[in-house]
Structure 1
């Protein structure tokens, strides 16, 4: 399944991933500095949420795109079922 993110979708996902990247860098720095455990876990939790939200945005876009093929016509029942199963597996991997 190829996923094409366009414009605002791509910008939103990239922003979330960059935010998570910054938060993970912050967690590493906090650990190296011997910061309080509660602060480290709070920052780590924020990074995890940012990654989850990016993943959910990608899956939501995939759901939208996979319901139709490149010509805008409905996909076959077999293809739809296979795609549904794959997207369900992706969704559950984030849950």
Structure 2
């Protein structure tokens, strides 16, 4: 990760929810790793990986909405919305390929 990003001076409403989701995803990944170690069927493993991808996408959507509702609103109030919009465009370019 780059050190160019700033520490936020405001709270994200969904931070706890995002952390909880990431913890569940982390546990799910460990479970799939264990399935692989145990030699479980490939279709079962792929199904679980698909579920993890969907969970990650849903978490990313939540982060994006939270960003719009907190960071973007805060940026408009502080007059630096163009910078925040550019940062989000870069993030989206990396996320959606």
TM above 0.5: yes
Unaligned runs of 5+ in 1: none
Which 4+ runs in 1 deviate beyond 2 A?
Answer: 3-6, 66-70, 73-76, 91-95
TM-score normalised by length of structure 2: 0.74
Give the counterpart of 1:26 among 9, 31, 35.
Answer: 31
Aligned residues: 89
Preserved contact between residue 68 and residue 74 of structure 1 (Cα < 8 Å): yes
Work out the CA distance in 2 between the residues paired with 1:93 and 1:39. Answer: 29
State the secondary structure of the residue aligned to 1:5: coil
Task: Name structure 2 gaps, 5 residues minimum.
Answer: 1-5
RMSD: 2.2
Cα distance in 2 for residues equivalent to 1:62 and 1:14: 15
Task: Deviation per CA, 1:17-72: give whole Å up to 9, x if none.
Answer: 122112101110011011111111111111122122222212221112223338xx
Match of 1:55 in 2: 60
